[in-house]
Amino acid sequence: LRDRLKDPSLLREQCYIDGAWTGSGSIAVTNPATGGEIGRIPSLGATEATAAIEAAEHAFPAWAKLTAKQRSNILRKWFELIVANREDLALILTSEQGKPLTEALGEVDIGAAYIEFFAEEARRVYGETIPTQRPDARLIAIKQPIGVCAAITPWNFPNSMITRKVSPALAAGCTVVLKPAEETPFSALALAALAEKAGLPKGVFNIVTGDAPPIGKVFCEHPAVRFVGFTGSTEVGKILYKQSAVGVKKLGLELGGNAPFIVFDDADIDAAVEGAMVSKYRNMGQTCVCANRLYVQDGVYDAFVEKLAAKVKAMKVGNGTEQGVTQGPLINDAAVEKTERHIADALANGAKVITGGKRHALGGTFFEPTVLADVRPDALVAHEETFGPLAPVFRFKDEAEVVKLANASPFGLASYFYARDLGRVWRVAEALESGMVGVNTGLITTEVAPFGGVKESGLGREGSHHGIEEYVEIKYVMMAGI
Ligand code: ADP
């Protein structure tokens, strides 16, 4: 991989703590498309995580004291360096994660867009003045950075899940310690290399790689850490939530989803098929906002399934770096096995395969993009997130029934529906229990809008002007004796 980068120094095999590149590679990172080793990363633990937190703690006062404009300028420079190196960053990303190169470029661009947005937002962290309740006093509320922030990120978006946590934190005046996913550390380390080039002072942004549970425990329990931001599985999110109770830390959790994708009789069917393709098969179905359950109304069911299957059959599976590939490999064997389990369960209960349904002839973790029809409402796939390229299509009769089915989940991250009737659009958008709703679209993520879930899908919002609020504390000051 190093030979194919324009700037080989972006591929780092060391961690970044207190402005120094440290540790030596011992954990192998492999390319899911080939199984080949890309490089090695250090296997750090609680001691190094503590050192990184203490570096961030030490760096915090000076970083917080800079003016918003000074912080903004450094973030802006970081953004510009990422844009200038987008091809290298995308190649690193595809090599460790598997998604097609065009999608990796898209991720690098939105990842950079978060930094650009929060560089701007840094200057808009306004406080307020409050009409007083007593004549001799004046009341104000100011906003201050919360302190050292810890972040733990997943492998499915190795770039943008980092920037959307780190850039609002830095913009607000916080310092950060990050543990990226062990499958995809090189995107994170490349971002740190560029942050260093942009002039980020030492200790402001630190990265540790290694054994997740002990590092996570230190992040949750070290008294200097005031905020723990996590994107990943609900299971791990709950562990972090419990661990953080000891020190009453603030948490941002972006956990699992189980997105319903509903197509009503009055929908534009071709648009709905397009939306389903993007929402379901982007990143091989490995996004937390992927359509997981497709509910299609009786009158358009057959037409929808037929058109969707035609598009799915036309997809090209292969190594993400090859021209024209739209589906790369899944991240690992466990991901393939879960997809297989969901398919087997649906078939055992009367569903039928319209296309795909099994491992791809390419071997490894390549899987055929799949469409199943006549799936029963009680299928496993209705209750669990697949995180694979499987579209199970359920049939429904009316609006009340489908809203009930859609909401019958402990998760509530994203939902999608296609309809034209204005009354229905409002009714359903308001009735769906999720943090985000896409109406007549399958792609909702943008740096300017609040991303996050309800119920067991998480806490807090990332992106938009709300995203920076997570990283500040409100301090109320009463000035009396006037
Ligand atoms: P997935 O199953 O998709 O890999 P995880 O929730 O296991 O999702 O992983 C998301 C992130 O959480 C990764 O960075 C991983 O290393 C980290 N992680 C896994 N287990 C723990 C843990 N016990 N404590 C802290 N972080 C963890």
| Predicted local confidence at residue 387, as pLDDT | 98
- Residues, the chain: 482
- Annotate 327-355 with three-state secondary structure: ECCCCCHHHHHHHHHHHHHHHHCCCEEEE
Return the beta strands (E) in 401-455 as ranges.
Answer: 411-412, 414-418, 436-439, 454-455
Q: φ, ψ for residue 424 (rounded to 5)?
A: -65, -40
Task: Name residue 249's amino acid.
Answer: K
How far is the CA of 401 from the CAs of 84, 262, 407, 426, in angstroms? 50, 11, 10, 16
Q: Ligand 1 mean position to 235 CA, how many Å?
A: 9
Query: Contact at 8 Å (CB) between 429 and 260?
Result: no
In what side-by-side order are the strands of the sheet with 175-179? Answer: 20-22, 15-17, 205-207, 175-179, 148-152, 225-231, 250-254, 458-459
Per DSSP, what are the bridge partners of residue 473? 144
Site to probe by mutation for ligand 1, drawn from 156, 219, 236 as the one with most ligand atoms within 8 Å of Cβ, is 236
Give the span between the Cα atoms of 14 and 102, in whole angstroms.
28
Is 328 in contact with 284 (CB distance < 8 Å)? Answer: yes
Contact 63, 204 (CB under 8 A): yes
Asked about 254 being catalytic, the answer comes back as: yes
How far, in Å, from the CA of 211 to the mean position of ligand 1?
A: 10
Q: Residue 259 belongs to what H/E stretch?
A: strand 259-263
Residue matched to tokens 């994708």: 261
Residue 219 structure tokens: 């992040």
- C-alpha angle 164/170/176, rounded to 5°? 85
The Cα 3–Cα 467 span in angstroms is 38
Phi, psi of 220, deg, nearest 5? -80, -25
- Give CA angle at 376 (337, 432), nearest 5°: 95
- Ligand 1 centre to CA of 105 (Å) is 25
Return the structure tokens found at 163.
């920037």
Residue 300 carries which side chain, given as an amino acid letter? Answer: V
Q: What are phi and psi of 90, to 5 degrees?
A: -70, -40
Report the pLDDT value the prediction gives residue 25, as an integer from 0 to 100: 80
Q: Which residues line ligand 1 (CB under 6 A)?
A: 152-154, 179, 181-182, 212-213, 216, 232-233, 236, 239
Q: Measuring from atom 17 of ligand 1, which residue has the nearest CA?
A: 212
Distance 181 CA to ligand 1 centre (A): 7
Which SS3 state, helix, strand or coil, does residue 203 take? coil
Token pair for residue 351?
A: 């569903």
DSSP letters for 372-401? EES--TTSHHHHS---SSEEEEEEE--HHH
- Give me the pLDDT at residue 113, please: 98
Query: Looking at 54, 57, 103, 254, which residue is catalytic?
Result: 254
Q: Which amino acid is at 130?
A: I
**Among the listed residues 166, 205, 239, 180, the one whose alpha carbon sits nearest the alpha carbon of residue 44:** 180
Alpha carbon of 267 to ligand 1 centroid (Å): 39
Which atom of ligand 1 lies at the shortest distance from residue 179's CA? 14
- Decide: 93 and 107 in contact? Cβ < 8 Å: yes
Helix (H) or strand (E) holding 6: none
The atom of ligand 1 lying closest to the CA of 153 is 14
Nearest-atom index, ligand 1, CA of 154: 10
Question: How confident is the chain (482 residues) per 10-residue block, as mean pLDDT?
Answer: 97 98 94 98 98 98 98 98 98 98 98 98 98 98 98 98 98 98 98 98 98 98 98 97 97 97 98 98 97 98 98 98 97 98 97 98 98 97 97 98 98 98 98 98 98 98 98 98 96
Atom of ligand 1 nearest to the CA of 233: 6
Beta bridge partners of 414: 436
ipTM: 0.99
Q: Which atom of ligand 1 is nearest to the CA of 180?
A: 14
Nearest CA to ligand 1 atom 4: 154
Task: Quote the ligand 1 centre to 213 CA distance (angstroms).
Answer: 8
